[in-house]
A and B are shown apart, each in its own frame.
Chain A
Amino acid sequence: MEAAASLANMHLRPVPDPKPPPKAPEREAAPSIAELERWATVLRIDCVRMLAVAKSGHLDSSLSAADIVAALYYRVLRHDPDNQEWPERDRFVLCKGHAAPIQYAALAQHGYFPLRDLMGLRQIGAHLQGHPDMRRTPGVEVSTGSLGQGLSMCLGISLALRLDGLDSTAQVFGLLSDGDCQEGQTWEAAMATSHFGVTNLTAIVDYNHLQTDGTTEEVRDIGDVRAKFEASDWDAIEIDGHDMTQVVEALERSRTLDRPAAIVCQTRKGRGVSYMESRFGFHGKPPSPEQAEEALSELEVTLERQTRALEEGTDSGEES
């Protein structure tokens, strides 16, 4: 109990911010790669704290997606927390709904709801459900959590935007997991997307190679996911999902295409926390207080390093 309370207090301690989170669409300059990397660490720290308090949830799945989610919310997505129903906004769908903490962290950091709400994750009476819930949590476009359904939902959103004449401005980004790719429905959606000639949909696969019962290769190999999307007539590329430059470039490129775009991100589950990184056995298991402390101290060292580097680089006129 005490450990949990102290973690909750820690959360309320402000993270040193070189700048407040940028707000699309009126933000002046896009954050640099180094800033995005730092924000990814901030989101990771939020996730560890949330899970430590909730004692439930999927930490390693959230950490593998942190760089992608940071790139989206802090740079790529056109969204406005002060005008959440803005019809021309980009849509983000967390198809891998079990990684909800990483989206919650990004939403809270952008002011969709107070940061302190993060400490209510998975608790009775709080709005942060175990999996994203559009009826309860501001900023969640559709409820997810049953693997395989997300890409179809994205397709529905893309078609609705097209009917409203918004498909050239509003892009739909769906973040899928290995598990999503094991579900047959994802491939129904992939085929349907190209069939309907959708141009404003980006599928991002967080290919971290680990699932509940083992590695994806052992449990049921999904093989070359990029090739599978390509065979469904998508523009499909494969990148390092922790290389922020590659992530940002791929995401921004995807919205310029006149085809649906798949970005297969090779990632490491539990990224940023050494004892968890690419190690089997952490899926769906919350960290113990000791594990949480260890994870936090490692991430805080990273954050400090990134913050210092940013502060030192401020005067050297860093490019955005």
Chain B
Amino acid sequence: MPAEAKTEPIATRHGYGDALVDLGEAHEDVVALDADLAVSTQSIKFGKRFPDRFFNVGTAEANMMSMACGLAATGKVPYCSTFAVFAAGRAYDQVRLGIAHNELKVRIGASHGGVSLGEDGASHQMIEDIALMRAMPKMQVVVPADYNQAYRATVESYAKDRPMYMRFGRPSTPIVYEEIPESLGEGVDVLREGKDISLIACGHMVWRALDAAESLEREDGVEAEVLNVSIVKPIDTETILESISKTGVAVTAEEHRVVGGLADAVRQTAAEQHPVPIFAVGLADEFGISGTGEACMEHFGLTARGIADRAREALVLKPIVSHPPLIGPEWT
């Protein structure tokens, strides 16, 4: 497919929308559904190109998900787009029974995940969708880091058998992958190597983790390893274990509650196979808030600085927790 990699900041939802059109071109059985948010989710591009295969159901997300079940049971490959809060929240039961339980080839393109959608505030800021979708049996959870990866994730999703939840964001974010990656692979990419601490991030937090690693190196001489987890479920335990067994400590970063999402996925992996201290950057027991997207991110500490500060706290504890007999920080 002739896709061009983006170099300037652009939202991940555009990667989804552009890929959807290319999928429609390549596969007759791809259909798209939206719930009156086609411009926001970018499914409008598919709708304009393939009006016969596009169903805008209006503000009725439950109906949309169950319709997708019927379409998929009859041989179509539906892509359902709406905001993350409605996809994972309002329509949870419809996704659960109709899509996940039936293991149908339905892809949920959930846009406007997290707090970075900004002004609309708590009612629209979905911060527990990764947890809900991770807990749901048979559901795969994909959180691309930038436009280029979002494009690949969407194109690649067509060939995957199981149901899939893909989370995209509203704001323009910097490019992490210079080219459109060939594949998401197993879902964890080491973007920067380091020996002192693992920074494990997903989605909008990946470029911030890279910035945090820069500042840790510059200000503290710490060599941080940065991992991008684009497939949160099923999680590539091998790459994560390899990194944390090398560094001995990790900080996770996600635009999500610190419960049930990336942090817990990593902690679960570590706790069972290689226990090391893992600190989480994310939302505590709180809802979102109105403000510009960036102001919201700052409010909740979802910034490069937030990640770096957490890393510094973690590094203080690292020698005590991971090597109890040692005295003094070995990393200095």
Interfacial chain B residues near A161, Cβ < 8 Å: 74
A142 with B52: CB separation less than 8 A: no
Interfacial chain B residues near A196, Cβ < 8 Å: 55
B102 with A159: CB separation less than 8 A: no
Partner of B74, one of A146, A148, A156: A156
The secondary-structure label for the interface of chain B is: helix
B52 with A149: CB separation less than 8 A: no
- For B52, the closest partner residue in chain A by CB is A163
A156 with B69: CB separation less than 8 A: yes
Binds A, one of B93-101, B125-133, B270-278: B93-101
Task: Say yes or no: A157-B62 contact (C-beta < 8 A), given A143-B102, A152-B67, A192-B67.
Answer: no
B60 with A188: CB separation less than 8 A: yes
Interfacial chain B residues near A91, Cβ < 8 Å: 74
Return the CB mask of A162-175 against B: 1 if under 8 Å, else 0.
01100000000000
B234 within 8 A of A: no
B63 with A189: CB separation less than 8 A: yes
A157 with B73: CB separation less than 8 A: yes
A277 to chain B, nearest CB (A): 31
B97 with A160: CB separation less than 8 A: no
A266 within 8 A of B: no
B58 with A192: CB separation less than 8 A: yes
A159 with B67: CB separation less than 8 A: yes
B76 with A154: CB separation less than 8 A: no
Partner of B73, one of A146, A156, A189: A156
B102 with A152: CB separation less than 8 A: no
Q: Number of A residues whose C-beta is below 8 Å from B? A: 33
Partner of B62, one of A133, A142, A154, A188: A188
A156 with B66: CB separation less than 8 A: yes
Return the CB mask of B49-71 against A: 1 if under 8 Å, else 0.
00011010110101111111111
B103 within 8 A of A: yes
A134 within 8 A of B: yes
B66 with A185: CB separation less than 8 A: yes
Task: Say yes or no: A142-B69 contact (C-beta < 8 A), given A153-B98, A188-B62.
Answer: yes
A249 to chain B, nearest CB (A): 27
Give A232 to B143 CA distance when docked, in angstroms: 39
A135 with B75: CB separation less than 8 A: no
Partner of B67, one of A144, A145, A148, A156: A156
Partner of A153, one of B53, B60, B66, B101: B66
A248 within 8 A of B: no
A154 with B70: CB separation less than 8 A: yes
B31 within 8 A of A: yes
Give A248 to B62 CA distance when docked, in angstroms: 32
Interfacial chain A residues near B67, Cβ < 8 Å: 152-153, 155-156, 159, 189, 192
A141 within 8 A of B: yes
Give A156 to B57 CA distance when docked, in angstroms: 11
A294 to chain B, nearest CB (A): 35
Interfacial chain B residues near A149, Cβ < 8 Å: 62, 66, 69, 93-94, 97-98
A160 with B74: CB separation less than 8 A: yes
Q: Which of A146, A161, A196 has the most CB of B within 10 A?
A: A146
For the complex of A and B, the 7 pairs showing the least CB-CB separation, nearest first, are: A156-B70, A152-B66, A160-B74, A156-B67, A188-B63, A188-B60, A157-B70
Q: Which residues of A contact B (CB under 8 A)?
A: 91, 133-135, 141-146, 148-150, 152-161, 163-164, 184-185, 188-189, 191-192, 195-196
23 CB < 8 A contacts A-B: A91-B74, A142-B70, A143-B98, A143-B102, A146-B97, A149-B62, A149-B97, A152-B63, A152-B67, A153-B70, A154-B70, A155-B70, A157-B70, A157-B73, A159-B31, A160-B70, A160-B71, A160-B73, A163-B31, A185-B62, A185-B94, A189-B66, A189-B67
Q: Which residues of B contact A (CB under 8 A)?
A: 31, 52-53, 55, 57-58, 60, 62-76, 78, 93-94, 97-98, 101-103
